[in-house]
């Protein structure tokens, strides 16, 4: 029961090579953080799991099933995603956006009519509370929320179907420090208590060190580190981020200085 990348490569139609020869496996129950500077290929890697990006080489499999256009409909309910750019429906309410996370499990005519079972509606409300949004936000349009509030709606939506695989693309990018910790703790619980495999890209090395069971790092689309957080010494951080100017501040951040 795991998520497997086997020799995955991704070349976009314009010729950009985003990933090269990526192989690793994330078992259920593991919180795996992906690090790497901007443009390293983190989002592309996550998108290869749910069909938003199609690998040009190699394959991705979920519980032994290769991700292909034919298997995607079956795999969708199993893979929840928190998007870097939220991907909310701006004119729809918070409640509608969250409950939309259950669409892969609801028949199309019922979904069009907005007929979601009571259990799903209750679940949406519970998740909205869990991510720290007050009840008063339920009926607000997503477009009227702050970036951090929208991000929390995206987190709640990803958990509607209790997916065994969770992709989180910079899930705390626009959140304040305490809410960031709360959201990462929630992701950690998904892994530890529900046994989900969580693959989460982050820019905050300190949070990665604190929450991850394992860290993989990309540089220019290649895997340059794969190990437990305590193996991520300063020299390796320099290797991942590569810029002499960034090094000092990142190293300080990593040691909590
Ligand atoms: N649709 C696309 N078409 C062409 N190139 C793309 C596309 N999406 C991403 N890229 C390129 O692929 C590379 C990896 O991008 P990706 O978005 O995966 O990086 P990232 O690590 O998520 O960066 P960030 O930290 O800024 O979110 C970059 O060079 C980017 O410009
Ligand atoms: Mg990205």
What's the pLDDT score for residue 257? 43
What's the pLDDT score for residue 234? 79
What's the pLDDT score for residue 248? 44
What φ, ψ does residue 255 adopt, rounded to 5°? -95, 5
State whether the Cα torsion 169-170-176-182 is positive or negative: positive
Ramachandran quadrant class, 28 (left: phi over 0; alpha: psi -120 to 50; beta: rest): beta
**What is the C-alpha separation between 218 and 102, in angstroms, rounded?**
32
Which of 54, 46, 43 lies closest to 10, judged by CA?
A: 54
What's the pLDDT score for residue 255? 46
What's the pLDDT score for residue 256? 45
**What is the C-alpha separation between 175 and 124, in angstroms, rounded?**
21
User: What b/e sequence results for 47-61 when a residue is b if at least 16 CB atoms lie within 10 Å of its CB, and e otherwise?
Assistant: bbbbbebebeebebb
Could you report the average pLDDT of every consecutive run of 10 residues in the chain (257 residues)?
Answer: 97 98 98 97 97 97 96 94 93 93 79 78 93 92 94 95 96 90 94 97 95 97 96 86 56 47
DSSP H helical segments within 25-146, as ranges? Answer: 42-47, 72-75, 94-99, 108-112, 118-130
Q: 40 C-alpha vs ligand 2 centroid, how far in Å?
A: 8
Q: Which of 5, 8, 43, 208 to mutate to test the pocket of ligand 1 (most atoms within 8 A of CB)?
A: 43
Which two structure tokens, joined as six digits, stand for 130? 């869990």
- Cα 62 to the center of its chain, rounded Å: 15
Q: 109 C-alpha vs ligand 1 centroid, how far in Å?
A: 36
Pocket flag, ligand 1, residue 54 (CB < 6 Å): no
Q: Which of 14, 42, 208 to mutate to test the pocket of ligand 1 (most atoms within 8 A of CB)?
A: 42
Using the 8-state DSSP alphabet, how is residue 137 labeled? G
Domains of the chain by start residue, with CATH: 2-254 (3.40.50.300)
DSSP H helical segments within 48-117, as ranges? Answer: 72-75, 94-99, 108-112
What's the pLDDT score for residue 104? 84
Pocket flag, ligand 1, residue 18 (CB < 6 Å): yes
Ligand 1 atom, smallest distance to 218 CA:
21
User: 67 exposed, middle or buried (CB, 10 Å; 0-12, 13-18, 19+)?
Assistant: buried
Ligand nearest to the CA of 222: 1
What's the pLDDT score for residue 236? 85
Which of 202, 166, 250, 184 lies closest to 84, judged by CA?
A: 202
Q: 3 C-alpha vs ligand 2 centroid, how far in Å?
A: 20
Ligand 1 atom, smallest distance to 40 CA:
21
What's the pLDDT score for residue 243? 62
Pocket flag, ligand 1, residue 90 (CB < 6 Å): no
What's the pLDDT score for residue 105? 81
């Amino acid at each position: 029961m795991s998520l497997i990348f086997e020799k995955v490569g991704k070349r976009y139609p314009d010729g950009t090579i985003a990933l090269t020869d990526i192989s690793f496996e994330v078992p259920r129950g593991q919180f795996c953080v992906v690090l790497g500077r901007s443009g390293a290929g983190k989002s592309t890697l996550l998108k290869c799991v749910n069909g938003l990006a199609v690998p040009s080489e190699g394959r991705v499999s979920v519980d032994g099933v290769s991700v292909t256009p034919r298997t995607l409909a079956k795999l969708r309910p199993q893979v929840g995603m928190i998007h870097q750019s939220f991907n909310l429906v701006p004119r729809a309410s918070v409640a509608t956006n969250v409950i939309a996370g259950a669409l892969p499990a609801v028949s199309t005519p019922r979904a069009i009519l907005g007929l979601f079972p009571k259990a799903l509606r209750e679940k949406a409300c519970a998740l909205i509370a869990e991510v720290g949004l007050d009840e008063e936000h339920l009926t607000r349009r997503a477009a009227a929320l702050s970036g951090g509030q929208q991000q929390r709606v995206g987190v709640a939506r990803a958990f509607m179907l209790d997916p065994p695989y969770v992709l989180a693309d910079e899930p705390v990018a626009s959140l304040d420090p305490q809410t960031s910790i709360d959201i990462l703790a929630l992701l950690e619980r998904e892994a530890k208590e529900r046994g989900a495999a969580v693959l989460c890209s982050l820019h905050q090395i300190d949070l990665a060190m604190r929450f991850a069971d394992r860290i993989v790092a990309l540089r220019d689309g290649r895997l340059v580190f794969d190990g437990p957080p305590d193996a991520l010494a300063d020299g390796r951080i320099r290797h991942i981020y590569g810029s002499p100017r960034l090094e000092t501040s990142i190293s300080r951040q990593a040691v909590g200085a």
